[in-house]
Amino acid sequence: MNAGSGLAAFQVFSSGREARLAIRRGDCLRPTAGIAPGMVQGNLAILPAALAHDFLRFCQQNPKPCPVLATSAPGDPRLPALGDDLDIRTDLPLYRVWRNGELIAEVEDVREFWRDDLVSFVLGCSFSFEEALVEAGLPMRHIDCGANVPMYRTSIPTRSAGVFHGPMVVSMRPLKPADAIRAVQITSRFPSVHGAPVHIGLPEQIGIRDIARPDYGDPIEVRDDELPVFWACGVTPQAVIAAAKPEYCITHAPGYMLVTDLKNSSLAIF
């Protein structure tokens, strides 16, 4: 709580590389939301090579919840497509290490947990499209409330691949109808970060019994003049991996994402 650490904790970087270097030095142990405006952030999953092909197949078959931004060669900690200097073992602020589905460590650096057969997957996240929605003037209530976006397990199936299977998880943002239409247009431009909504307006149709009780994140109000709008969510692959209980796995800690050198605007397809 001293002025020095407060300054460091809320520093904003103008590039993904600068943010990663600060994180790598251990100067930036905080959730990455807002850390480098305009830059793409990603969810991380690291799996043994024996499971990697099935997981990649799962992602390829379910691109809305699992949009792959990059994947590594086995044992290689680099992901040059996302940053020349990027080292996936040191460049996130906080990791979780799992063995047979159990959390065995939460650490700031996974070099000592590395193995030569590990394959990294970086998946797009909703930060990118939320930035576009905010720039378009659409209100994002969970941001305005300082809350996590509410997320729900649904009855929407995914297409399974090997041990990876489970229902789609969605995030929800309440919007007035005309804003919801605009949000469909804007997020349709970003297929690599979940794309257009998967549902709108009738939560019970996708197996959500109580909109006020999300399965993940925080509940937020849906007002009478608003519709709940649902996007495929990056928690889907996390939940699928958790259910598969792989013998070994490393993920980001929730909210502590990988900051890349890609610009959000570069993901727009038209």
Instruction: Return residues touching its own copies (CB under 8 A).
Output: 176-178, 180-181, 184-185, 188, 196-202, 205, 225, 227, 270
Q: Least CB distance from residue 210 to its own copies, whole Å?
A: 18
Q: CB of 117 within 8 A of CB of 52?
A: no
What secondary structure does DSSP assign to 8-67, as a single string? HHT---SSHHHHHHHHHTT---S--TTSSTTEEEEEEEEEEHHHHHHHHHHHHH-TTT--
Query: In terms of CB distance, is 178 or 212 closer to its own copies?
Result: 178
**CA proximity to 34, closest of 131, 151, 142, 148:** 131
Q: Least CB distance from residue 62 to its own copies, whole Å?
A: 15
Q: Least CB distance from residue 167 to its own copies, whole Å?
A: 16
Q: Least CB distance from residue 226 to its own copies, whole Å?
A: 8
Query: In terms of CB distance, is 162 or 177 closer to its own copies?
Result: 177
Query: In terms of CB distance, is 116 or 270 closer to its own copies?
Result: 270
Q: CA dist 139 to 131, 132, 173, 183, Å?
A: 11, 11, 9, 10
Query: In terms of CB distance, is 15 or 188 closer to its own copies?
Result: 188
